[in-house]
Structure 1
Amino acid sequence: MQSPHPQKIPYQKPYKSSADLCVMLQNQGLAIGDIPIAKETLDNCSYYRFKAYLFPLKNHATKQYNPNTTFEDGLELYEFDNELRFYLFKLIAKVEVGVRSVLDQWITKETNNSFWYLDSSLFKDNGTQIKTVNQVRGMFVDSKEEFAKHYSAKYYNDYCPFHRDLPPGWVALELMTFGNVLSLMNSFSDTSIQSLKLNRFAKKKLNVEKFTTLCNWMEAIRQVRNACGHHNRLFNRNLAAPNGIKKYLQSAIQLVKTRQNQSRVQDQLNRLYTNMAAIQVLLEALGHEEKIGNKINTLFSMYPKAWYDLPPVS
């Protein structure tokens, strides 16, 4: 039978148990100090997830692991990444909640309209705004939160006749997903950015030069947040580079370098460090005293293998 995809081959790799996988890794030159722990690790997190932490330990030309590398080295990187995700997820929650709050306060004051998110004239992409409003309606109607039930029982809005049942912005933003909020932020027209003084908002409230830069940072941070929320690897991977972040970085801390050609070496800004720098700027602007560097140094002391200069895994 002719293949429906001549340029591909069918996937027919056989199932391997955790014990089989341990033997395979040993045959590839990886030392395993404690077989039962290794089997338990692969049972609990799956080989597919775990092998990303073994990737930097392998010589991919020979398909063998580097001399003196162990399964426990990969396990240390895996545990480091778990700790890092838990920590950053907590910080990003503070950023997300804070930005929602100050954004609503600023726009409500500038427009004198508690229902500003229903004003289609503020947005260049009415389709995005309408979609967001409809999603808010669904979430608000179904919400079991006390504030939502209280509002529905007592109030209606007299701003928009098509949306009498929808709440003011501060309630709506609480119900929106991070993606909803970002879509709304990205949909403000250039005229609205100017009339609402959103560049001033970004600088005064969040220490970011422009509102579009703030939107870019929040999108980059969202990528980190999603990796945390879905338990995806953060360690040693490429991410979105926050625009204009270099001016906020300490010159004493060397960036990862990438070679563009024989004569040009460029700073690599699409790494977790630059995203953490953006998170730090926003945290400080929102009044939080957390210093990310202190926690990272603690994690490096707990998991020294993470300190190694390793090639990135895309």
Structure 2
Amino acid sequence: MPEPYKKPYLTYQQQLDRLKRRGLLIGDEAQAIWLLEALGYYRLSGYFYPFRRQSDPKDVDGKRVRQPRLDEFAAGASFEQVSLLYKFDQSLRLLVMHAVEKLEVAMRAKLAYLLAAQDTCAHLKAELWNPKYCQVPSDDPGAPPRQSNYETWLESHEKLVGRSKEDFIKHFREKYAPPIPLWISIEVWDFGLLSHFYAGLNESDRRALADQFGITRAVLLASWLRSISHLRNICAHHSRLWNRTLTDNPKPPGQNEVPELDHLRGDANMHSRLHVYGTLAVMQYLLKKAGFDSSWSQKLKGLIGDFPSAAPIATLHTMGFPADWSELPLWN
């Protein structure tokens, strides 16, 4: 049974004193106090972690198992290094959001153009969706009734459109009767609603969009859009990104299916897919196929290139970056 939380409240000075007792070097105490005030000790704790001493592994069932890090900091670890690591992560989140914006707008435009040719309100026509997506899940007798994925999507769609304060939505409501055409309503969708829309379409429409990106299987693009949406949500909530293990990873392509992403294939490259790099790689691929220039990849290479000097104790390995990643054709 979980035990009650008993850690006490600490003032900023007490927080700083605790860090000093644990061996963290504090060069500018006033600056350190300001960062604790501006960011919070708990938020910074994720950035303190890689600078803490590594405990010795233990034998468990005949295997050497790594143990959690100790409370004490490694020799030479400083608050300045933690601050630089935090600033790096902040810059990475902003850069990711910049790419997400480009992809989100491009996907909206392509989907609206593709589907509206069939019906101006294709998003509201269940017959244009995958029948399985519109099926109501079967329940045990006596269980509360459930919705289909399509009905759940419609509810989310109505909420987003209904609470929108965009002038073009207001203009439509004042001048025209509902429903709102796809090419108008899609402009207020978030990336999550967009990715679920693509996932729910019939296979021919999913393939038609995937073909525009040189992807032979629509299931790949559906997986990649989910992963990008997951990464986008992490960034939007200002959560730690730099060494995060993602819970929604991009499905790797088959051999020679997407040559620029072959380096994500196989068990040996599982680490890259599970961490941030895998999703950044598919984002870069989609940006290139959408016709965007190389400015984003160049900015990412510049930021990552500064990482070792910013945090010498932490490593790029925890983000899934291969050693030679910047030389791969994908990034050039």
1:33-44 matches, cutoff 5 A: 33-44=27-38
The Cα shift of 1:77 comes to: 0.4
1:263-282 matches, cutoff 5 A: 267-268=270-271, 269-282=273-286
Q: Match of 2:78?
A: 70
Change (3 A) 1:25 1:138: closer
Contact 2:195 2:229 in 1 (8 A): no
1:193 to 203, 222, 245: 203
The Cα shift of 1:18 comes to: 1.7
The Cα shift of 1:211 comes to: 1.8
Change (3 A) 1:17 1:311: farther
What letter matches 1:132 in structure 2? W
Superposed CA RMSD:
2.5
Q: Match of 1:236?
A: 243
The Cα shift of 1:183 comes to: 2.2
Instruction: Give the distance between the partners of 1:218 and 1:121, measured in 2 at CA.
Output: 23
1:87 to 68, 92, 95: 95
1:149 to 170, 177, 194: 170
1:112-261 matches, cutoff 5 A: 113-123=119-129, 124-126=132-134, 127-156=148-177, 165-188=178-201, 192-194=202-204, 196=205, 198-203=206-211, 205-239=212-246, 240-244=248-252, 247-249=259-261
Change (3 A) 1:300 1:138: closer
Tell whether 2:59 aligns with 1:54.
Answer: no
Q: Count matched residues.
A: 281
The Cα shift of 1:312 comes to: 4.0
Contact 1:202 1:210 in 2 (8 A): yes
Instruction: Give the distance between the partners of 1:138 and 1:64, measured in 2 at CA.
Output: 48
Q: Match of 2:310?
A: 305
Change (3 A) 1:64 1:140: closer
Q: Match of 1:161?
A: none
Instruction: Give the distance between the partners of 1:52 and 1:103, measured in 2 at CA.
Output: 38
TM-score, normalised via structure 1 length: 0.80
- Name the SS for the 1:65 alignment partner: coil
Instruction: Give the distance between the partners of 1:172 and 1:16, measured in 2 at CA.
Output: 48
Instruction: Give the distance between the partners of 1:265 and 1:147, measured in 2 at CA.
Output: 49
Instruction: Give the distance between the partners of 1:63 and 1:222, measured in 2 at CA.
Output: 34
- Name the SS for the 2:274 alignment partner: coil
TM-score, normalised via structure 2 length: 0.76
Quick one: percent identity of the two aligned structures?
A: 26
Q: Match of 1:296?
A: 300
Q: Match of 2:105?
A: 97
Instruction: Give the distance between the partners of 1:139 and 1:265, measured in 2 at CA.
Output: 41
Change (3 A) 1:285 1:301: closer
Tell whether 2:266 aligns with 1:285.
Answer: no
Q: Match of 1:261?
A: none
What letter matches 2:252 in structure 1? G
Instruction: Give the distance between the partners of 2:76 and 2:26, measured in 1 at CA.
Output: 11
Deviations along 1:7-62, whole A, 9 cap, x unmatched? 22211211111211111111111111111111111111011110111111112424
Change (3 A) 1:282 1:74: same
Instruction: Give the distance between the partners of 1:20 and 1:40, measured in 2 at CA.
Output: 13
Structure 1: segments with no counterpart, 5+ residues: 1-6, 157-164, 258-263
Structure 2: segments with no counterpart, 5+ residues: 56-69, 135-147, 320-332
Between 1:34-43 and 1:289-298, the stretch displaced more is 289-298
Instruction: Give the distance between the partners of 1:282 and 1:274, measured in 2 at CA.
Output: 13
Instruction: Give the distance between the partners of 1:285 and 1:80, measured in 2 at CA.
Output: 28
Contact 1:114 1:169 in 2 (8 A): yes
What letter matches 1:281 in structure 2? Y
Deviations along 1:179-209, whole A, 9 cap, x unmatched? 2222222222xxx213x3x224202x22333
Instruction: Give the distance between the partners of 1:136 and 1:226, measured in 2 at CA.
Output: 18
